[in-house]
Amino acid sequence: MANKIVQTLSGTVMEVMRAVENVTNCNVTTNEKNDCNLKATALACVSIIIMAILSIVLGSKRSVKLHREKEVSGETTDAMSRKEAIYFPIIASLALFGLYMSLKVFSKNHINLVLTGYSCLLGVTALIHTSRPLVKFLMSAAISEITYHILFNRGEGKTKEKLISFKFSTYDVLCLIISTTIGVWYLIKKHWIAKNVFGLAFTMNAVEILYLNNIVTGCILLSGLFFYDIFWILGSNVIVSIAKSFETPIMLVFPQDWISNGINGSNFVTLSLGDVIIPGMFIALLLRFDHSTDRKSDIYFHSTLIAYFIGLTATIIHRIVFEEVQPARLFLVPTCLSTPLLVALLRGEMGTLFAYHDHPERKTKNKQSKDIVNAKNSRNVTLPAKDISSTKTYRRYQRLPE
């Protein structure tokens, strides 16, 4: 009898506790809800900032390594010139407007299908290149690296012509399998994690291989895109319309409802890849400049990276507080441009900073060519001994005795 009474009382207590819990949950104060939403939003913003900073740092480090490898091998790098930097915002505007007009003519679903497939293919390619060092580091103990060489020639002997020469290793095959799997996942689910994986791969790959030839070019490019953003975002709704119409991996995203919905969240904080890649190219150039000097500290790289962090944080806070679309480069360009210039001014290195060039040998060759042309047009020719020995056409420029 006593046991039945105890069981009955226990059951009653449990029911009362459940009822109290339900009432408590139903009567959560507005402040508590706001605190929960604020924490979720803060988590999303911090995640976006970390992804952007991480991709710039890794891409910049890899760009320094790639630059050194090309210097050793003598391979030249295609870098953006001042003229190309001037035309870039104009070309980007034409492409953007053309894409916007295509939405008025063609079906949005068809355009989305083409762009998704194309961007997915590029994403797989970028992910293969970006993930190879990590895969090699993780799998080197389990899988040995075996190199394969696919070679197709036409003809024999002196008429032999190489058509295809492609080298790859077991790690490349493994990267291809992983990247293709993520690509298929993105095509089927359009999941935000897969979108971020491709976005990070795009960003790191672009910062690594896209070069600005000097600081002046970087200043021109950032300044031009500063006004580009003001016109197309604040002056019109073209960029916003395109961003909402397509589901391509051109943004870094993180759900604000991550705490409540987990990986199935849908209310995203977003950041365009262009707001990471363009400043990232400039920051990578500053890191290469730091490595070209004798000092041990990367002061220009670190200071500009901190400035980028401040500008990006200000952008995201402004978007959340005022709930309106704000061009990120409206904050990023002033901070990223003013910081290295201020550091150079304080250190007395303004001339050194603007004189830096990724490929100084190109300047030497261009100067040598100009000297030869000037010598051709002059009556008295006096070439340096180094130029005389290295110029096959020197005799053409010698003045014949009268």
Active site members: 229, 275
Instruction: Report the C-alpha gap between 265 and 263 in whole angstroms.
Output: 5
Contact (CB, 8 A) for 133 and 58: no
Residue 148 — φ and ψ, nearest 5°?
-120, 150
* Token pair recorded at residue 139: 């799998």
Instruction: Report the C-alpha gap between 263 and 29 in whole angstroms.
Output: 26
* Token pair recorded at residue 262: 């987990």
The count of other CB atoms within 10 Å of the CB of residue 400 is 4
Among residues 194, 196, 197, the alpha carbon closest in space to that of 184 is found at: 194
Instruction: Report the C-alpha gap between 200 and 54 in whole angstroms.
Output: 9
Among residues 93, 231, 339, 330, the alpha carbon closest in space to that of 322 is found at: 330
* Token pair recorded at residue 1: 């009898």
CA angle 310, 311, 313 (to 5 degrees): 65
Residue 175 — φ and ψ, nearest 5°?
-65, -40
Instruction: Report the C-alpha gap between 329 and 336 in whole angstroms.
Output: 10
Determine the angle formed by the axes of helices 192-209 and 274-292, rounding to 10 degrees.
40
